[in-house]
Amino acid sequence: MILSFFAYTSLSYSQNNKDSIAKHSFPIMIAFSAHSYSWPILKSFVTPIQPGFKTGTEYMYSAKKNHKILQTLTLGYFRNPEFLEAYYLNSYFTYRYTAPFHLFVDGAIGAGYFHRRHTREVFKVNDKGEFESKTDWGSPGAQVGLNLGAGYAFNLKNKQLDLFINYEWFINYPHVKGDIPFLSHSLYHIGIKYYPFK
C-alpha cells in the first residue's frame, strides 16, 4: 500500500510537471530592437537608433519552483541605413529565475543563421574595366551569442503576459573574408510575450 502511494504520488507529480511545462511552452513573443556594431556594453547604445524587431517562441524543458530551463526560437531583423541590414534565425538555451513577486531574470547562450545585405548600391567591375551596379543577394553566415534579460509576468484573466527587456550580444562569421573575419553586434530588445496555452 505504501508502494502504491509513492507510485501514485510520483505519477501525479510527473503529470502535474508535464501540465505545467505544456502551459508555459510556445508563447508568442514580439519585440522592438535597437542595434549597434559594438563589443558588450561598451558604447552599445547609439543614436540615431538603428531599428529592428524580432518574433519567436520558446519551449520549456523543466520547471521546478522558481527555476526554469527552456529553449528559444527567434526570427529577427535590423537595419543600419548607412551600412548593412540583416536577417537572423537563432535558438538560445536559457535559464530563468522567477521571484515570488513575478519579477524574472534570465541568461542564455546560443547560435544561429545570419544573413546580411548592403543597404547602399553595390558595384562590380565589368569586362571593360568599368564599374556597374550589381544585385546584392547578401552573404550567409553563422552567429554565436549571449543574452541577458529581465521582465515582469502579469496574470490577466487566467492568461500570462510578460513584459521584458534584454541585451543580446553576438558575433557573426564570416564578415569580410580575408580582411574582417567576424563582426560584433549589440541589440537591446523591449517586448511582450503572451502565453495562449496557459
Distances 44 to 56, 144, 150, 173, 186 between C-alpha atoms, Å: 23, 17, 18, 19, 6
In this prediction, residue 126 carries a pLDDT of 67
Tens of pLDDT, residues 8-52: 333 433 444 554 565 568 999 999 999 998 888 777 888 888 999
* Residue 9, pLDDT score: 34
| Residue 8, pLDDT score | 37
So where are the chain's domains? 2-195
Query: Domain 2-195 has what CATH class?
Result: mainly beta
Dihedral, CA of residue 35, residue 111, residue 169 and residue 92, to nearest 10:
100
Predicted pLDDT at 113: 97
pLDDT recorded at residue 139: 84
Low-confidence ranges of the chain (pLDDT < 70): 1-24, 120-136, 176-178, 198
